[in-house]
């Protein structure tokens, strides 16, 4: 049986997980693909650092170049993270014509076009299944499984930390700060937690999915991002009364009513934000640290991918999948079975968020006196934003009370401007809290110019 040598850069949590998985299932993998993958060398920060799974000392080095530049290494995994040294490692391997497998979504988000161009120029490939949603094979599904579909919409719960926090807040009726502190103590949230709870981790993943789904590179600067810091227990309670759950979603939607870009490429919405989704929808039932991605194709309809989105074992599973593809591509001389981002669709564009149409949930803190509702409703009316329902909950005492609005579909910019005016009213005592509503049905809003 043919043997290919693997050089690993990174032997920490993920790297040792990959090494362990290869020791455990290497023979199974070899039997299935007809190629044995053998670890030749592993570059680590420190030989004696603790790691979840042991790696023989004889395989370890602290110099990544000993791994990447070894002529007897055929495949390279980059599992160190970050966007500086990792970029140099990946570029070096690609320039040597060696396939690279990475789990580094931040690197792809920052330097994807450059790295994929480098791979093409040197007759090799860059594999990245593990960069989005850990063990869920969403990259392979978008690249291969849905090759005959236009992707109409994609909704992803792609950050396990945020989903864990929102799940516990709703289940235990606990506030955000308390749950976040406990999540950090239990190792489900980093310290500081900004990358996760401010939506940037989800931004990296959503951009990769959007680029795959629509065939043109979506830079991070074009992705609207909001995190979950503004979600309170009160919001979860009111949302539940209205039949909704709140989830942090990565959203990619084709906006068929928008003017296409040059070349008539697709006009799409790409965003990350906490949204109200119907409690009865399957995505609302995704709990804890689990991830899920709903993909809507024009031929296949709705499909759902669900599983662990992070962790050494889930990520190792995805890396092994890429190793199998890379090994087979090497054996049969295939540079790539399909381009990384379809065919670089000409003229595709991301529609500015202010033009995107959606329904909204708005919570205001207002003084408890007659005429307040009329003054606020007048602002919405002047902005041509319809009010679907109003909740003035009983049982709240004091001078300031909550007031909840469900708004009809309206352009995002119009809602933001109306809320800015409302915030300046003397009867409003705190900044308005607003979440978009995603119905997740087949007939959701698609025209960004509706109601303008």
Torsion of CA 10, 13, 15, 17, to 10 degrees: 170
Strands (E), 255-375: 267-278, 290-297, 301-308, 349-350, 357-367
What is the C-alpha radius of gyration for the chain, rounded to an integer number of angstroms? 24
- 274: tokens are 């906490």
154 close to 293: Cβ distance less than 8 angstroms: yes
Cα 274 from chain centroid? Answer: 12
Residues in Cβ contact with 411 at an 8 Å cutoff, skipping those fewer than 6 apart? 354, 355, 356, 357, 448, 449, 450, 451, 452
| Phi, psi (rounded to 5 degrees) for 73 | -90, 125
d(CA 266, CA 261): 7
The answer to whether residue 205 is catalytic is: yes
Q: Are 281 and 244 in contact (CB under 8 A)?
A: no
As a whole number of angstroms, the distance between CA 307 and CA 133 comes to 8
Question: φ and ψ at 282, to 5 degrees?
Answer: -60, -35
Alpha-carbon span 39 to 186, nearest angstrom: 33
**What is the rounded distance in angstroms from the CA atom of residue 413 to the CA atom of residue 331?**
53
Count of Cβ atoms closer than 10 Å to residue 386 Cβ: 14
Cβ-based neighbour number of residue 154 at 10 Å: 26
Residues in the chain, overall count:
452
Q: Which residues of 350-374 are buried (b: 16+ CB within 10 A; e: fewer)?
A: bbebebbbbbbbbbbbbeeeeebbe
DSSP per-residue string spanning 374-393: HHHHHHHHHTT--EEEEE--
DSSP assignment letter at 141: I
Give me the residues paired with residue 251 across strands: 155, 271
Annotated catalytic residue: which of 205, 247, 253, 312?
Answer: 205
Which residues are known to be catalytic? 205
């Amino acid at each position: 049986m043919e043997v290919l040598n693997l050089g690993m850069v990174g032997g920490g949590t993920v790297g040792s997980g990959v090494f362990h998985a290869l020791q455990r299932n290497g023979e199974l993998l070899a039997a299935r693909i007809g190629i044995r993958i053998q670890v030749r060398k592993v570059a680590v920060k420190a030989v004696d650092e603790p790691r979840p799974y042991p790696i023989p000392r004889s395989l370890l080095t602290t110099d990544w170049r000993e791994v990447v530049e070894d002529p007897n290494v055929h495949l390279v995994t980059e599992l160190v993270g970050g966007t500086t040294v990792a970029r140099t490692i990946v570029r070096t391997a690609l320039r040597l014509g060696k396939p690279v497998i990475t789990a580094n979504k931040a690197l792809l988000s920052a330097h994807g076009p450059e790295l994929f161009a480098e791979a093409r120029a040197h007759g090799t490939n860059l594999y990245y299944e593990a960069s989005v949603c850990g063990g869920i094979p969403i990259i392979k599904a978008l690249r291969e499984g849905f090759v005959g579909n236009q992707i109409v919409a994609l909704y992803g719960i792609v950050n396990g930390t945020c989903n864990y926090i929102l799940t516990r807040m709703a289940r235990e009726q606990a506030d955000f700060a308390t749950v976040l502190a406990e999540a950090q103590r239990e190792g489900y949230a980093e310290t500081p937690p900004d990358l996760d709870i401010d939506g940037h981790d989800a931004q990296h993943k959503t951009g990769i999915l959007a680029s795959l789904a629509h065939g043109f590179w979506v830079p991070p600067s074009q992705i609207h991002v909001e995190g979950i810091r503004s979600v309170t227990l009160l919001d979860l309670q009111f949302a539940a009364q209205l039949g909704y759950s709140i989830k942090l979603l990565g959203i990619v939607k084709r906006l068929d009513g928008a003017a296409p870009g040059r070349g008539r490429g697709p006009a799409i919405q790409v965003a990350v934000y906490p949204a109200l989704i119907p409690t009865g929808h399957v995505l609302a039932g995704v709990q804890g640290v689990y991830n899920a991605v709903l993909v809507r194709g024009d031929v296949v309809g709705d499909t759902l991918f669900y599983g662990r989105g992070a962790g050494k074992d889930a990520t190792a599973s995805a890396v092994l999948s890429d190793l199998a593809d890379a090994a087979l591509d090497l054996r049969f001389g295939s540079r790539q079975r399909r381009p990384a981002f379809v065919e670089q669709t000409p003229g595709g564009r991301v529609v500015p968020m202010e033009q995107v149409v959606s329904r909204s949930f708005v919570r205001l803190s207002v003084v408890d006196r007659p005429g307040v509702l009329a003054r606020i409703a007048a602002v919405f009316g002047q902005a041509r934003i319809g009010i679907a329902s109003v909740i003035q909950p009983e049982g709240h005492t004091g001078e300031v009370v909550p007031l909840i609005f469900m708004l009809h579909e309206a352009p995002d910019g119009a809602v933001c401007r109306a809320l800015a005016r409302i915030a300046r009213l003397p009867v409003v005592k705190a900044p308005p809290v607003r979440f978009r509503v995603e119905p997740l049905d087949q007939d959701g809003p698609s025209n960004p110019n509706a109601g303008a």
